[in-house]
Amino acid sequence: MSIGDIIFYIILLGVIAAIIAAVVHYGGDIHTASNVQADVNDTSALVASVEKTYNGYSDYANLSDTDLISAQAVPTAITQVGTTSLQNVFGYPYALAEDTANPNAFDLTDEVPNDACAAIANAVIKNITSLTINGTAVTLPVTDPATIGQACGTTSPSTIVEVYSGM
């Protein structure tokens, strides 16, 4: 084996080590970003399904995960857990309910890992009438992204309650 071969193999091992380090370092971020986008898409599909299912009704009375499952109106990308609950891409629950302050609106509660909280909240704020994160009401419209980050805090999973007014 020549010196040129040894140098080649040393460089090759260095490149392989760098690739492995990059995958380990950035792999989690890429996976989280993919799941954030999937959750945002699933949330949008779920909201559209609720609005379509309740179109023509006077309010969102009786809205629940069980009700949407029974109506066979759950989007296919969302996991149904038995006949009573829905689960997001992170393995945490979604919860649907009539909004207590306005029967013509409904709440979608989405539990998410803390590192996905701000990205998901920022993605949905343009479509909602009210937002609560980890029990903190967020004033809309949000004028400073730090507001969302502060509400997300360090709690994991974070609980995002989105209110949609569709009637």
pLDDT tens readout for residues 70-110: 999 999 989 999 899 999 999 999 999 999 999 899 999 99
Q: Please tell me the predicted confidence (pLDDT) of residue 44.
A: 93
- Quick check: 11 pLDDT over 90? no
**Do residues 96 and 106 lie in contact, with contact meaning Cβ atoms separated by under 8 Å?**
yes
**Do residues 130 and 71 lie in contact, with contact meaning Cβ atoms separated by under 8 Å?**
no
Token pair listed for 64: 């629940």
pLDDT tens readout for residues 101-135: 998 999 999 999 999 999 999 999 988 999 999 99
Domain ranges of the chain: 3-165
What gap in Å lies between CA 166 and CA 54, rounded to an integer? 9
Backbone angles phi and psi of 160, in degrees to 5: -110, 120
Backbone angles phi and psi of 95, in degrees to 5: -140, 130
Mean per-residue pLDDT of the chain: 87
For the CA atoms of the chain, what is the radius of gyration? 22
Token pair listed for 146: 């730090």
Q: Which residue has the higher pLDDT, 145 or 162?
A: 162
Q: Please tell me the predicted confidence (pLDDT) of residue 16.
A: 60
What gap in Å lies between CA 76 and CA 86, rounded to an integer? 11
Angle between helical axes of 3-53 and 114-124 (0-180°, round to 10):
50
Q: Which residue has the higher pLDDT, 35 or 158?
A: 158
DSSP 3-state percent helix, strand, coil across the chain (nearest 5): 45, 20, 30
**CATH (one of 3.40.50.2000, 3.30.420.40, 3.30.300.30, 3.30.1690.10) for 3-165:** 3.30.1690.10
pLDDT tens readout for residues 12-43: 565 665 555 545 555 445 445 678 999 999 99
Q: Please tell me the predicted confidence (pLDDT) of residue 21.
A: 53
Q: Please tell me the predicted confidence (pLDDT) of residue 115.
A: 92
- Quick check: 159 pLDDT over 90? yes
Q: Please tell me the predicted confidence (pLDDT) of residue 31.
A: 47
Q: Please tell me the predicted confidence (pLDDT) of residue 34.
A: 79
Asked whether the CA dihedral 114, 118, 121, 124 is positive or negative, the reply is: negative
